[in-house]
Amino acid sequence: MSDDLFDITGRIILITGASSGIGAYLAQGLAARGAARVYAVGRREAQLASVAAASPAIRPLVGDVSTIAGCKAVRDAFVEAEARAGVAREGVRLDLLVNNAGVKVEEGEWGADAAVEEVAERLLAASDASWAREFATNVGSVQWMTACVLPQLARAAQAGEGRGCVVVNTSVSAFLHKAPGTLYAASKAGAHSVAQSLATHLTRRGVRVNSIAPANVPSEMNDPRDPHSFVARRAADIPAGRVGAPEDVVGAVVYLASRAGSFVSGSVVKVDGGIVMIS
């Protein structure tokens, strides 16, 4: 049996949505565990610089993955950065892509006793543009970014040991339907569906695709200081008896991206303290 089941030393990693929250946790956590270069992708340059300050292995890469053109630009910038690091362009590999980028617009909420007129009004609170933007970022980017770096992923996969894989952050919102916020939940369910389809088509080509579904992990989108956030509203209900920590998410991704998880594809790891099973 391998002595290096969870070893990711020397890996080349690209993470979208890495300027804060779970993306930032992952960039810093994977760099700390020996990744050679972790490309932290995001729209906010100052925040990316702050994330990158934690390790020389983290390389900030400003980009927007909400369009196909944006994903292609991120791919091109990644290949150029690898070339500057001494890798021949035709030999650039990517050991792990984490599709983590996500946005959440304000949606209407209502109480249990709300009249149907109020519910109807709240359901129309998010605009057409908000629906388009959220689906482009939360769903479209999963397929687009994966497609853009697929040759680099397949090249890395030839070395085995779990290399050349994709992890998608679908969030437990993909599986929860009771709370108001249909747009975000629908977009994450869409991301889950895309991840499953990609796993079906790519695993035979050497590229594994899995998802993580975090919940109750503090982030910019899920701030425990905000009484309306999911983690604040449900903290007392978490079966595990605590709020999640960065290590919980990092550990799940290390498993999926290493030799330990190299026979796993098309799976979802719920990093939620058990909240989905009681919801």
> Which pLDDT value is given to residue 105?
86
Q: Residue 94 and residue 215: Cα distance in Å, rounded?
A: 27
2: number of Cβ within 10 Å: 11
Q: Which class is 12-104+135-278 in CATH?
A: alpha beta
Q: Quote the pLDDT of residue 42.
A: 98
30-45 pLDDT, tens per residue? 999 999 999 999 999 9
Reported as half-sphere exposure (CB side, CA atoms, 13 A), residue 94 has a value of 29
pLDDT < 50 regions, the chain:
none
Predicted local distance difference test score (pLDDT) of residue 180: 64
Quote the pLDDT of residue 195: 99
Position 232 scores a pLDDT of 67
Burial of 113 (0-12, 13-18, 19+ CB in 10 A): exposed
Residue 140 DSSP label: I
Say how far apart CA 100 and CA 29 lie, in whole Å: 15
pLDDT in tens, 74-122: 999 999 999 999 999 999 999 999 999 999 988 877 888 999 999 899 8
Contact 61, 76 (CB under 8 A): no
**Catalytically annotated residues:** 184
Instruction: Kindly give, in sequence order, each residue whose CB lies less than 8 Å from that of residue 38, ignoring residues fewer than 6 positions away.
Output: 13, 14, 15, 27, 30, 31, 55, 57, 58, 59
Q: What is the pLDDT of residue 179?
A: 67
CB 264 within 8 A of CB 207: no
